[in-house]
Amino acid sequence: MIANRLIAHRGCAQLAPENTLGAMRLTQRLGIDWVEIDANLVGDGTVVIFHDDELSRLSKDQGRLMSLTYADLAHVDVGSHFSAEYSAERIPTLDEMLVFLSQHQFGLNLEIKRYEHFSAEQIVEPSIRALEQNWQAFDRLIISSFDTEILQLIQQRKPEWPLGQLWEALPDNWQSIAESLGAVSIHLDYSQLTTDQARAIKQAGYDLYVYTVNDPNAAKCLFEMGVDGIFTDNPTLFD
Ligand code: G3P
Ligand code: MG
C-alpha cells in the first residue's frame, strides 16, 4: 500500500495553497493522513505555519515575518495566489494547526525553519510550548529541521520527542550527528541520494524520508532503494 508511505508536503502544495488549513482538509479528502508543515517565527514570537521568511511569493502583501506581528499577518490572504476558492485562507498559527491536525488524526512531520533573523532558542521555546499540549495525540510524529542546533535544543528539553535530521545531501559525518541527537529518521533531497547511502542509513537503523518527489518512476526507484516515505506535493500522482 503506497498511501501510508506518502507524506503530503506542506499539505499537497500542488493541489491547494501550501501550509494552510484548506490544504490539510484537501489532504484528508484524498485519504492521506500524514503531512509535513513548516514552522516559522514572527517578530512578536508567535510561531506560524509558513515556509518563507517573507510574504511576497504567497500573497499580495510584502514584508519579512520577523518585522511583523501576528496581528499584522491576521488579514494576509495566502489562498488567492493559488485560486479564488481559497481566498479565505490565512496563515495558521502552530497552535491552530496542531489542534486541527490532532483532531483529524493526522500523522505530523513538523519541520522547524531557521532563518538568519532569529536564534534557535527563539523558535524552539514557543514551539515546545505549543507541542507540549498535544504531541501525544499524534499517532506518528517527527520533528525535523535542517538546523542541528534546533534539534539539539529540543533533545535537551524533550528527550522523548522523535527527531529527524534534514539535509540536502548526506554529509560525511551524518551518523555521528544522528547518534548524538538520538534521531529516529534522516530526511534528504532525493535527487542527491545514492543507493549506498540509502543502504547505510537503513542498516544503521534510521527511517529514511526524501523530498520532494512528484514523479512516480522516481518514487518506485526510491522505495526499491529502501526509502520509507516520500514527501510529495501531489499524492494523486501515485494512485
Ligand atoms: O521537510 C522536507 C522539505 O519540506 C524540506 O524542504 O524547503 O520544502 O521545506 P522545504
Ligand atoms: Mg518543509
Q: Is residue 80 part of a domain?
A: no
38 lines ligand 1 (CB under 6 A): yes
What pLDDT score does 100 carry? 97
Q: For residues 9, 214, 170 and 125, what is the CA-based torsion angle, rounded to 10 degrees? A: -10
Among 5, 3, 41, smallest CA distance to 229 is for 5
Nearest-atom index, ligand 1, CA of 10: 4
Q: Which three cell numbers stand for residue 118?
A: 532569529
What pLDDT score does 77 carry? 98
Q: Is residue 83 part of a domain?
A: no
Question: Over 60: is that where the pLDDT of 1 sits?
Answer: no
| Segment 179-204 mean pLDDT | 98
Which residue in the block uniquely carries the three cell numbers 495566489?
81
Q: For residues 96, 100, 105 and 111, what is the CA-based torsion angle, rounded to 10 degrees? A: -40
Whole-angstrom distance, CA of residue 5 vs CA of residue 227: 9
Q: Ligand 1 atom 10: the closest Cα is on which residue?
A: 51
Give me the DSSP letters along 210-239. Answer: EE----HHHHHHHHHHT--EEEES-GGGG-
| Segment 49-59 mean pLDDT | 98
166 lines ligand 1 (CB under 6 A): yes
| Segment 88-115 mean pLDDT | 97
pLDDT tens track for 132-154: 989 999 989 999 999 999 999 99
Collapse the DSSP code of 83 into the 3-class scheme (helix H, G, I; strand E, B; otherwise coil) and give the result: coil
Q: Is residue 65 part of a domain?
A: no
- Percent of the chain at pLDDT above 70? 100
Q: Is residue 77 part of a domain?
A: no
| Segment 50-75 mean pLDDT | 97
Q: Under the phi-then-psi rule, with left for phi > 0, alpha for psi from -120 to 50, and beta for the rest, what region is 173?
A: alpha
Q: Is residue 61 part of a domain?
A: no
What pLDDT score does 194 carry? 98
What pLDDT score does 139 carry? 87
Whole-angstrom distance, CA of residue 52 vs CA of residue 167: 18
| Segment 112-138 mean pLDDT | 96
Collapse the DSSP code of 96 into the 3-class scheme (helix H, G, I; strand E, B; otherwise coil) and give the result: helix
Q: Is residue 196 part of a domain?
A: yes
What pLDDT score does 3 carry? 79
The whole domain housing 28 covers 5-54+92-238
| Segment 8-17 mean pLDDT | 98
CATH at residue 44: 3.20.20.190
Q: What is the mean pLDDT of the chain?
A: 97
Distance 225 CA to ligand 2 centre (A): 23
Question: How many domains does the chain fold into?
Answer: 1
